[in-house]
Amino acid sequence: MKNFYAVIMAGGIGSRFWPVSRTAHPKQFIDILGTGKTLIQQTYQRFLKIVPPENIYIVTNNNYTQLVKEQIPELADEQILAEPVMRNTAPCVAYASHKIAMLNPDAAIVVSPADHLILDTDEFVRNINYSLDAASRMSCLITLGIKPSRPDTGYGYVQFTSQKLEGDLHKVKTFTEKPNLELAKTFVQSGEFLWNAGIFVWSAASIISAFEQHLPEMNDVFKEGDNKYNTDAERPFIQHAYYQCTNISIDYGIMEKASNVYVLPTDFGWSDLGTWASVYQLSEKDYLGNAVIPSDRVIMYDSANCMVNVPAEKLVILQGLDDYIVVESNNTLLICQKSQEQKVKQIVADVKSIYGQEYI
């Protein structure tokens, strides 16, 4: 277990959850389901069941380091990896991998987003432990695949073959970004596709080797810091290094290109909580299908199938709404048809162009 490490990616701004999620206080730092714990706190506590507390690292934006410290005060400063600019997931994986490899060349690492929901923690722990053990023994890059329950167009898909590395680790054939509905239906019916959970497991040596092969320039940037990681020189070095990196995801930069990629089919009650509709699906509802968080002072008349998230102290009366999202936070009220919620990103862009940063 001392060779097992967790890297939690917590740098996103979560614009699809606006106005609750703001640039200054994004989704991963919010208790979006009303559980009493924020998403990053839940993620951190899950990994405590797998790796020692000192082996958990959180990669986040410079602007969020204080939020991370407030929400997980037991983290040491060196466990918070601060990015000066957003450059997608490949640089953050390269940074964490090089830093950990300098501490422990035998490290096996799980990389996970901070803002996903896992309902079956025991099954998650079992799957991650198995993957870390496999990655420690073999030169492979493992991605976790979720058995699809519906033809969802909001997720990426992983196609696998019958060829296995061992156990249930299947060779990956293709990655497909969010498909249209017809394609998604075909994928699910074929039985050869899984949702891409964006959770990865590999040894430090395997992922650095993959960077050397597929993103050599980015690898060179971070390799230059090998004698600076875990010293006082790390922060200044990283502030400079990130500006030399291209904006590219680990999926596109490495996983879609490497030949030693395997997927573990899993079923641990996963959701990426990517939209208000996904929160609605997971929330408790009344007999008319309304999900209200918190529910203290909301009165609903002739209303059904609504997702309501409003401040606890505010009295809200809704009449005659069906299938709507009603969200209020930070002096902003959003009322939107659930079927149109993909427009929230555009709404945020419009608000920004009209009012500047004030409501973003």
**DSSP, res 184:** H
What was the pLDDT predicted at 149? 87
Helices (DSSP H) in 109-162: which residue ranges? 121-137
Q: What is the distance between the alpha carbons of residues 114 and 5, in angstroms, rounded to a whole number?
A: 15
What was the pLDDT predicted at 141? 98
Q: Helix, strand, coil shares of the chain as percentages rounded to 5?
A: 35, 25, 35
What was the pLDDT predicted at 133? 97
pLDDT in tens, 70-104: 999 999 999 999 999 999 999 999 999 999 999 99
pLDDT in tens, 339-348: 888 888 899 9
Tokens representing 162? 């019958």
> Could you give the 3-state DSSP secondary structure of residue 101?
helix
Domain boundaries, the chain: 4-271, 276-355
What was the pLDDT predicted at 85? 94
Tokens representing 317? 């009366």
What was the pLDDT predicted at 342? 81
pTM value is: 0.94
- pLDDT < 50 positions in the chain: none
CATH superfamily of 4-271: Spore Coat Polysaccharide Biosynthesis Protein SpsA; Chain A (3.90.550.10)
What was the pLDDT predicted at 207? 98
What single letter denotes the amino acid at residue 62? Answer: N
> Could you give the 3-state DSSP secondary structure of residue 193?
strand
